[in-house]
């Protein structure tokens, strides 16, 4: 009889919205005035209830982990899926099934684009997105507990005035909100990531856009949020790390109110456009850097100082390096004069950019030399002949992840998984950089080496 009663209490406990320990239910019904015999029986019942509590707690924890796919992960790990990486040859080819759902908590599909005439979101690459079912394959990651957003924009699509026209026209905004809602529903996503680079500062040129972009963008976010919240969809935006852009592009308190997270693109601080070598994503200011604002720590503090809620800030990290061609191969330190971007990698073939797995191969197999600054302000750089590249290695990703935890931020974001060593070509394990981020923030197996390419 006692066991049956406990089982009934167990059913009541686990079917409640919040699980109530059975021992708590038993004790709450105790009658202190009963006989000694009854008190002994009651004591045995409490012990049995505590044993059941232990078993039920383990079962519930495992069940919730299976349902969410991310267990008790506190921090966001946002991974961008690029629909052009599958065109790469050989081991560089990347498809939706290459995403590790044990590491990424959120995936953003990069990208859909804005139709300049209709002011509507539209498919960018129908061959990949529709014919090869990439939309469907990414959206289906929800079955594994990963939240999938549609991304709109990107650097190339941010050229011109179409986003500005849309946000500054109430009719166009309203039409966009209605149409993008249908688009997301049609393809099975559960969120939207806005990657307009940037309000007023179109492709970093702040003289090109009107000041009204700032307010128009905020209104768009409010209107999208009003539609998304009842559907329990998530709304996010990728934003600039540059304080000069932040000041004129974003109403930060408004972003903090309406967005679920703000993805800080804290990379590309330096590149071939500088005409001298520099680090792609320094963590702290380096004395040799002429701009004290161009580092991750400063960007984080600036966004928080402008009023962004700290748990909404998601810090971006590059899975790639920025490469340069040295003007003089014997002058190969920081701030060395350059003659433009470095040569494209053997797989990615993009001048000025090397995937982490290409950098690792260059260091391990082609014997590029590596250096680190003694002050720990940034990741390593590597060089050979007239080629030079700066990047983050495993220990640098860990340091940035520890900073996220120390400041109580929302998580980390990577651009992009297909640049990490996702096939373990360098022998440091699959996804060494992403694994460093995920394990530092949310636990789980860590990379088995301290660094892979330095």
Nearest to 422 by CA among 362, 343, 347: 347
Could you write out the DSSP letters of every residue in 355-383? EHHHHHHHHHHS--EEE--TT--S--EEE
Nearest to 261 by CA among 312, 193, 315, 190: 312
Return the structure tokens found at 231.
């559907």
Return the structure tokens found at 405.
């935890």
Residues 6 or more apart from 20 whose CB is under 8 A from it?
A: 12, 13
| DSSP H or E run through 27 | helix 22-28
Give the other-Cβ count within 10 Å of 330's Cβ. Answer: 7
Nearest to 437 by CA among 103, 96, 107, 81: 103
Give the other-Cβ count within 10 Å of 1's Cβ. Answer: 5
What 8-state DSSP symbol labels residue 83? T
Looking only at the bridges linking them, the beta strands covering 76-82 and 106-115 are parallel
Query: Catalytic: 97?
Result: no
What's phi and psi for 261, nearest 5 deg? -155, 160
Could you tell me the maximum CA-CA distance found in the chain, to the nearest angstrom?
94
147, β-bridge pairs = 106
Return the structure tokens found at 21.
């320990």
Q: Which residue has the tokens 């000694």?
A: 36
Q: Which is the catalytic residue, given 197, 223, 358, 373?
A: 197
Sort residue 337 into left (φ over 0), alpha (ψ -120 to 50) or beta: beta
- Are the C-beta atoms of 368 and 383 separated by less than 8 Å? yes
DSSP alpha helices (H): ranges in 69-169?
A: 126, 134-139, 162-168
The number of residues in the chain equals 454
Active site residues: 197
């Amino acid at each position: 009889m006692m066991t049956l009663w406990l089982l009934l209490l167990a059913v009541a406990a686990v079917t409640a919205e919040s699980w109530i320990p059975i021992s708590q239910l038993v004790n709450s019904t105790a009658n202190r005035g009963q006989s000694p015999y009854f008190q002994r029986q009651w004591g045995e019942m409490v012990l049995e209830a505590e044993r059941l509590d232990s078993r039920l707690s383990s079962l519930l924890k495992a069940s919730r982990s299976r349902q969410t796919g991310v267990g008790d992960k506190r921090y966001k790990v946002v991974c961008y899926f690029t629909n052009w990486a599958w065109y790469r040859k050989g081991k560089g080819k990347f498809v939706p099934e290459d995403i590790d759902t044990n590491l990424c908590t959120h995936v953003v599909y990069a990208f859909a684009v804005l139709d300049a005439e209709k002011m509507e979101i539209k498919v960018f690459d129908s061959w990949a997105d529709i014919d090869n079912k990439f939309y469907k394959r990414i959206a289906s990651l929800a079955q594994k507990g990963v939240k999938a957003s549609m991304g709109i924009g990107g650097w190339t699509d941010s050229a011109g005035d179409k986003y500005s026209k849309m946000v500054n026209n109430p009719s166009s905004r309203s039409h966009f909100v209605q149409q993008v809602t249908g688009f997301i529903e049609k393809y099975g996503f559960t969120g939207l990531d806005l990657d307009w680079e940037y309000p007023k500062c179109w492709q970093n040129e702040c003289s090109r856009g009107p000041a009204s972009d700032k307010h128009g963008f905020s209104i768009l976010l409010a209107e999208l949020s009003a539609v998304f919240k009842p559907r329990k969809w998530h709304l996010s935006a990728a934003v600039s790390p540059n304080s000069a852009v932040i000041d004129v592009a974003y109403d930060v308190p408004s972003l903090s109110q309406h967005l679920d997270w703000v993805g800080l693109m804290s990379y590309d601080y330096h590149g071939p456009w500088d005409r001298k070598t520099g680090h792609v994503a320094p963590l702290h200011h380096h004395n040799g850097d002429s701009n004290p604002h161009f580092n991750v720590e400063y960007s984080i503090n600036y966004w928080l100082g402008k009023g962004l809620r700290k748990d909404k800030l998601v810090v971006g990290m590059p899975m790639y390096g920025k490469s340069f061609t040295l003007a003089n191969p014997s002058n190969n330190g920081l701030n060395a004069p350059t003659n433009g971007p470095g040569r494209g990698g053997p797989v990615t073939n993009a001048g000025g950019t090397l995937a982490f797995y290409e950098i690792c191969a260059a260091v391990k197999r082609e014997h590029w030399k590596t250096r680190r600054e003694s002050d720990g302000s940034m990741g390593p750089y590597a060089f050979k002949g007239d080629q030079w590249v700066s990047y983050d290695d495993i220990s640098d990703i860990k340091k940035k992840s520890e900073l996220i935890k120390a400041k109580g931020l929302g998580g980390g974001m990577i651009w992009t998984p297909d640049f990490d060593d996702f096939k373990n070509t360098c022998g440091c394990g699959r996804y060494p950089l992403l694994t460093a981020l995920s394990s530092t923030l949310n636990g789980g197996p860590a990379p088995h080496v301290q660094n892979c390419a330095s």
